[in-house]
Amino acid sequence: MSIIRQTAADLAAKIHSGELSSVEVTQAHLDRIAEVDSSVHAFLHVNAEGALKAAKAVDDDIAAGKAPASPLAGVPLALKDVFTTKDMPTTCGSKMLEGWRPPYDATLTRKLREAGIVILGKTNMDEFAMGSSTENSAYGPTRNPWDLDRIPGGSGGGSSAALAAFEAPLSIGTDTGGSIRQPGAVTGTVGVKPTYGGVSRYGLVAFSSSLDQGGPCARTVLDAALLHEIIGGHDPLDSTSIDAPVPAVVEAARLGAQGDLTGVRVGVVREFSGDGYAGGVERAFQAAVSQLKALGAEVIEVSCPNFVYALPAYYLIAPSECSSNLARFDAMRYGLRVADDGAHSAEEVMSLTREAGFGAEVKRRIMLGTYALSAGYYDAYYGSAQKVRTLITQDFTKAFEQVDVLVSPTTPTTAFKIGERADDPMAMYLADLCTIPSNLAGNAGMSVPCGLSDEDGLPVGLQIMAPAMADDRMYRVAAAYEAAAGGVIERAPQL
């Protein structure tokens, strides 16, 4: 098997044993990027020199007899361009930050470096993580390696496409309303949203602070678990970081891979089926549920009645927080500045810069949020949405009294064509219908490939949700399903 098609776990084992060098593995992926990324456009910035230097440092340590810095030391990774990196630009897919080089690394970036993971570069994304298709990037859309005319999901489409195109064995995404899980589903990869607060947000450029969560993306459940344990954990620099040990996700993934789910109670969410769900997605999901039963799981239908209000609640809460967070991009301190000719007032420079620097979707959400927070409307809109958020959290609490995990399709359809929903924001927002409740409640969720749609031959995702700080439960179920069903990604078309 060629280097680029091997799992991260296998590559790490071969690097640590000396069978392969990290430089060799890194160069193979850089070559792959050079070969296919002009078609896929997964990357906004490739740091070949820095990656090879980091890889050589790992090889030198191994040659000197030092123990690897982590179980994934020497393995390459693609990093979503929303985490600060002092040696590479951080643009968030926006003209507002074009060329900006941060003076510091995000905590997640630092943990990757300390673990000996080789950062290949920064991946494309919907501007400031606002979107479900990676069409909102100021630098052009990313394309799905399964069909280059289709979207790779969003906002982290660059991270998912890099995996599906074998440009990287690991990647990092962020999930505010599904931006790790939905791209995972439509590209046939694994995407994990850890419990909110389980991975530090320090250095993650904020979209919606009460919802944003960084997480691992990979082609196998075990690879995601290995990465999760490296990036997770308490960070005193993040006031929302949970001061508790990272759940034993690697142990759970290895246990699940043995293929026995006896005693595990799986809840099927009644509200996530029916009208609006593609037939091929529904059939693939039902087949996955049958597979879980065959592995010994007890399957129970569970009702979460307030989930149907998650989408409108989210699109009041997230834009409100985005309106506040993006006020910092004011042309005064860093980033883009236009009309700075002495003939315009500071207010005019600010207004003209924001007009030129932000794309249409970002402006739409800023305006929605500003309106929802305005005097006379705060209680009616933002306040009411927060009440719905409480009801959704209560639905999860009641459901997890009956079952260990919940399952649903990750997204109602397979990957749609680029441009198909560009002029219909509501149709675009519906892509996150199933993923948003977990963000509102702050609990853990992941997407694992569950076959191909019998309608169009494109990947379908199985979403598995677990209570807060019980991330290990979903890894066990996902690994058991993966072992029984086989991974979709090996059947991805060659570019």
**What does DSSP assign to residue 228?**
H
398 is a catalytic site residue: no
> Residue 402, class by beta-carbon neighbours within 10 Å (0-12 exposed, 13-18 middle, 19+ buried)?
exposed
Choosing from 14, 80, 111, 122, the catalytic residue is: 80
**Which helix (H) or strand (E) covers residue 261, if one does?**
none
Q: Residue 56 and residue 453: Cα distance in Å, rounded?
A: 42
CB within 8 A of 396, min separation 6: which ones? 304, 406, 437, 441, 443, 465, 467
Amino acid of residue 462: L
Choosing from 159, 179, 200, 453, the catalytic residue is: 179
Q: Residue 140 and residue 135: Cα distance in Å, rounded?
A: 7
CA distances for 123 relative to 156, 157, 162, 313, angstroms: 8, 8, 8, 29
**Which helix (H) or strand (E) covers residue 122, if one does?**
strand 118-123
179 is a catalytic site residue: yes
> Are 330 and 357 spatial neighbours (Cβ–Cβ below 8 Å)?
no
345 is a catalytic site residue: no
Neighbours of 312 (CB within 10 A): 15
DSSP string covering 149-216: TB---SSSHHHHHHHHTTS-SEEEEE-SSSTTHHHHHHHT-EEEEPPTTSB--TTB--S-TTT--EEE
Q: Residue 449 and residue 186: Cα distance in Å, rounded?
A: 9
Choosing from 132, 133, 137, 155, the catalytic residue is: 155
Active site residue ranges: 80, 155, 179
